Amino acid sequence: MKNNELFKIVLIVSGTMLLFAIASLPYGYYQLLRLVIFVSGLFSAYNFYQSKNTRLVVAFSFTAFLFNPIAPVYLEKGTWILIDLAISFLFFYSIGQIQGKKS
């Protein structure tokens, strides 16, 4: 599997998990979500750093900070719904920003 294919899968899974987070799910899902989005945020920031896309590096670095499991950010459910929607859009939008390597 090429790196870009793996990257797209990470973005799709992360964006989809954020959409599911809008529903009322068990607390364990949100703990898993926090870890997944933190890791995929760092992974995405690194990949966009490699392709010199500064805007998305900053966006995904902020995402990783917001969802970090070490020092969690606590907000109300309504606020998290808006954040989840916005960050989900970011993940789906960034799929189109992946630059393919030309052979």
Q: Could you read off the pLDDT of 57-92 as tens digits, one per residue? A: 999 999 999 999 999 999 999 999 999 999 999 999
Q: Could you read off the pLDDT of 7-45 as tens digits, one per residue? A: 999 999 999 999 999 999 999 999 999 999 999 999 999
The whole-number pLDDT of residue 13 equals 97
Return the SS3 of 33.
Answer: helix
The whole-number pLDDT of residue 3 equals 82
> Integer distance in angstroms from the first to the last C-alpha of the chain?
16
Q: What are the phi and psi torsion angles at 26 (to 5°)?
A: -60, 155
The tokens describing 92, both together, are 């789906």
Cα torsion angle, 7, 37, 83, 18, sign: positive
